[in-house]
Amino acid sequence: MKVITTPREMQALVITWKGEGLKVGLVPTMGWFHEGHLSLMRKAREVADRVVVSLFVNPMQFAPTEDLDNYPHDLERDRKLAEAEGVDVLYAPEPADMYPAEFKTSVHVSGLTTGLCGASRPGHFDGVTTVVAKLFNQTLPHIAVFGEKDFQQLAVIRQMVRDLDFPIEIIGHAIVREQSGLAMSSRNTYLKEDEMEAAHSLAKAIVQAQHLVGQNKNLSPDQIKEEVTGIILSYPQCTIDYVEILDRSSLQPCERISSESVLVLAVKINQRIRLIDNSTLVGN
């Protein structure tokens, strides 16, 4: 596995691959790999001839008050994990190469970015779409794999790809969870032992919501949201950023629960750690 750090070298290699008729897959990440990231790499390995995993902790998607400086980082650890998955290139560009002093462009997707995470993290999605557009141009992939864990992000990226005519197939990959149900996240490393139980409230609330819908499909979204909110707030360390039941494509609130409905959650643990999770409510 090669480690590449400059956009120019990355692009040159992909152009060579493409000249050989090889199919290229990209997995964009911010590193500190866990099984969720590794499953995305395996998916890319399955569908592409060459796999590039990008590792870039993107300053543009963090607000000044957020955890950019503390975000877990260990290139050597991640290099070994990616290599073991048969990744061809770990692409780890430097911030100065991604955003040189004269950088002036931002990619903005409207509508889908205003609610949910966009409401509590202003500017976050402009950072995401700008960096992903750059990564697409630097790695020129045929396919790119993203996790459904970042549900709104996936919808926003699909929209950007359609709107800007990127010739890239976007593949969404199911959430990988700990045995306990907790959705894997690099940010889980911030959780102290006594915060773990509170962190599990998200998955616990999802399971209860699915159970209730399984028993009675006529329950309203508000009734389910009330139940979910009650479970989460029964842990004093938890505050709710949002609990919503949305249509999976439009991200608009649903009037009735159906197979298109997704329960999306964002919860802060001790005001320090913001966790997100989501799930459909009706078995497919």
Catalytically active residues, by annotation = 37
Sequence-distant (≥ 6) Cβ neighbours of residue 111 within 8 angstroms: none
Out of 56, 91, 146, 190, point to the residue binding ligand AMP (CB under 6 A). Answer: 146
**Shortest spacing between CB 218 and ligand AMP, in angstroms:** 31
29 binding ligand AMP? (CB under 6 A):
yes
Q: Which 167-226 positions form the footprint of ligand AMP (CB under 6 A)?
A: 173, 175-176, 183-186
> Is 60 an interacting residue with respect to ligand AMP (CB under 6 A)?
no
- Nearest CA-CA partner of 31 in 168, 156, 200, 189: 189
- Separation CA 68–CA 204 (nearest Å): 29
In angstroms, what CA-CA distances link 102 with 11, 47, 93, 166, 240? Answer: 21, 37, 17, 25, 39
Q: In this structure, what token pair is assigned to residue 277?
A: 């999770």
CB of 41 to ligand AMP, least distance (A): 10
Q: Give the 3-state secondary structure of residue 217.
A: coil
Told to check if 248 binds ligand AMP by CB under 6 A, we report no
> Residue count at the site for ligand AMP (CB under 6 A)?
16
- Residue 18 CB, nearest distance to ligand AMP (Å)? 23
The answer to the question of residue 113 lying near ligand AMP (CB under 6 A) is no
- Contact between 228 and ligand AMP per CB under 6 A: no
Candidates 14, 30, 52, 112; binder of ligand AMP (CB under 6 A) is 30
Residue 162 φ then ψ, to 5°: -65, -50
Q: What is the DSSP string of 139-185?
A: H--SEEEEETTSHHHHHHHHHHHHHTT---EEEEEPPPB-TTSPBP-
Footprint of ligand AMP (CB under 6 A): 29-30, 36-37, 40, 146-147, 149-150, 173, 175-176, 183-186
